[in-house]
Amino acid sequence: MAINDSIQIALIGAGGMGQGDAHHSTSLPGVKLVAACDLYTGRLEHCKEEWGNDIFTTRDYREVLQRKDIDAVIIATPDHWHARITKEALAAGKDVYCEKPMVQTVEEGPGVVAAQKSSGKILQIGSQYASSLVFQKAKMLLEQGVIGKLNMVEAWLDRNTALGAWQYTIPPDASPSTVDWDTFLGNAPKRPFDATRFFRWRNYKDYGTGLAGDLYVHLLTGLHVVTGSLGPTKIYATGGLRYWKDGRDVPDVMLACMDYPEFTFTMKVNFKSGVPVEDFGFRFVGSEGVMWASMSEVRVAKQPRETEPGFNIGEFAADVRKKYMEDYRKQYPVKELTAETLRSNDQIQWAPPRGYNAHVEHHRNFINAVRTRKPFFEDGVFGFRTAGPALLTGVSYDERKVCLWDPQSMTRTA
């Protein structure tokens, strides 16, 4: 496919994220949405309003995969459909952009990785942190040793709105006639029609992955981009349902700790944080400084390595203290205070240009991969290296135990 050839895409799962993905992709030159699939009639009608009455719409994603005029598909369904549709789309010869998490369960991961490998098609996972200039800059700074040797990373993503807590709007016409409920359930337990479960699926383990798959996977993506890590070896999570007691069966507060070979990683998500807007960031702590990163900036505060050992001699006898200090100052003489000897604690800041949008860049990387046949690095393997540990935080929370993970083989070992 030539670099300027047009790309015809289809959307499978036309909810808020799916339509957002489609808008980002079709904002790029030569990209056209020709089909949309969803299980709610109102979304299909809205897709025609957005992209024209000539687009093909259906409730059956298999009709989309059968079409020869479609080069690539965006999969933005509930999590419990990700693995199945991704594998079928790859087998049908389509390039795939699949929203994170790549899979709903750790057990599904190897099958998707194998499907991509055998198909030879493009698979890109939809965590835009992988395409962010900010995280690429943070990676470069870390590799340059700006903060010395990394020993700890903290990340947080707090929300304080109903929308941020997945309290999505339920349309007044939601009913068994406008929603294909049986197809939505898929391999989930059978139950009578429930509009709340359909439109707020992230709140339920049957269809979603809770904080683990929605937000922790983003944080792990950012971490792996910056550090180049393959994954943790030990995972533990705790938390609870503290505020949104609306029938959901996943926590709205969650804390996780992960051991990586060279550093420790902690994550926190709170859905009623007291902060009026979404509060998100990373703090990379090194031996010679600290680096903060978000989607909008990178900041570094340098802290020179200590050249003197600490001492606590107050509890010693006077003659011992005197002798100790005489010997100590021979080895570490007091430096004259001058402008040159002042300790540095400079903060340096980088930010992308105004109007920069990491979501658009992520879709640009996908479309470039479709055109050039050169995959973007957030493929099935990378996607599973972030989804696996993220999903194990949910397992750890449910089972109240530490989970062990082999980042090389991408398997749970305990």
Residues 306-339 have pLDDT tens digits of 667 677 888 999 999 999 889 988 888 877 766 6
- The mean pLDDT value for 238-243 works out to 97
Q: Is residue 312 included in any domain, yes or no? A: no
How far is 273 from 132, CA to CA, in rounded Å? 25
Q: Tens of pLDDT along 187-229? A: 999 999 999 999 999 999 999 999 999 999 999 999 999 999 9
Q: Rounded to two decimals, what is the model's pTM?
A: 0.92
How far is 413 from 404, CA to CA, in rounded Å? 5
**What is the structure's pLDDT at 304?**
66
Beta bridge partners of 350: 298
**What is the structure's pLDDT at 306?**
64
Last residue of a domain, one of 130, 149, 184: 130
How far is 197 from 208, CA to CA, in rounded Å? 10
Q: Could you tell me the pLDDT band of residue 239, with boundaries at 50, 70 and 90?
A: very high
Same domain, 396 and 293: yes
Same domain, 268 and 404: yes
- The mean pLDDT value for 275-296 works out to 93
Q: Tens of pLDDT along 361-396? A: 999 999 999 999 999 999 999 999 999 999 999 999
Last residue of a domain, one of 108, 130, 152: 130
On the question of a cis peptide bond just before residue 78, with omega within 30 degrees of 0, the verdict is no
Q: Is residue 322 included in any domain, yes or no? A: no
Same domain, 144 and 291: yes
The pair of structure tokens assigned to 93 is 């010869």
The pair of structure tokens assigned to 110 is 């190897």
The answer on pLDDT for 20 being more than 60 is yes
- The mean pLDDT value for 261-276 works out to 92
Same domain, 140 and 122: no
Q: Is residue 223 included in any domain, yes or no? A: yes
Question: Are the C-beta atoms of 64 and 41 separated by less than 8 Å?
Answer: no
User: What are the start-end ranges of the H helices in 55-158?
Assistant: 61-65, 82-91, 109-119, 133-143
Question: Which residue do the tokens 């369960």 mark?
Answer: 105
The answer on pLDDT for 347 being more than 90 is no
**What is the structure's pLDDT at 132?**
96
The answer on pLDDT for 1 being more than 80 is no
Number of domains composing the chain:
2
- The mean pLDDT value for 244-261 works out to 97
Q: Is residue 328 included in any domain, yes or no? A: no
**What is the structure's pLDDT at 247?**
96
Same domain, 104 and 159: no
Same domain, 42 and 71: yes
Same domain, 102 and 204: no
**What is the structure's pLDDT at 345?**
59
Query: What is the amino acid identity at position 185?
Result: L
Q: Tens of pLDDT along 77-94? A: 999 999 999 999 999 999
**What is the structure's pLDDT at 33?**
98
How far is 403 from 237, CA to CA, in rounded Å? 9
Q: Is residue 257 included in any domain, yes or no? A: yes
Specify the CATH number for the domain of residue 276: 3.30.360.10
Q: Is residue 97 included in any domain, yes or no? A: yes
Domain of residue 271 covers 134-304+343-360+379-412
Same domain, 82 and 194: no
Q: Is residue 50 included in any domain, yes or no? A: yes
How far is 75 from 80, CA to CA, in rounded Å? 12
Q: Is residue 335 included in any domain, yes or no? A: no
Beta bridge partners of 289: 286, 302
How far is 239 from 158, CA to CA, in rounded Å? 14
**What is the structure's pLDDT at 228?**
98
Beta bridge partners of 40: 179
Specify the CATH number for the domain of residue 67: 3.40.50.720
Last residue of a domain, one of 95, 130, 165: 130
Same domain, 43 and 68: yes
**What is the structure's pLDDT at 253?**
98
**What is the structure's pLDDT at 335?**
74
336 class by beta-carbon count within 10 Å (0-12 exposed, 13-18 middle, 19+ buried): exposed
Q: What are phi and psi of 406, to 5 degrees?
A: -100, 105
**What is the structure's pLDDT at 294?**
94
**What is the structure's pLDDT at 305?**
66
Same domain, 156 and 300: yes
Same domain, 170 and 186: yes
Q: Tens of pLDDT along 54-75? A: 999 999 999 999 999 999 999 9
The answer on pLDDT for 274 being more than 90 is no
Same domain, 390 and 404: yes
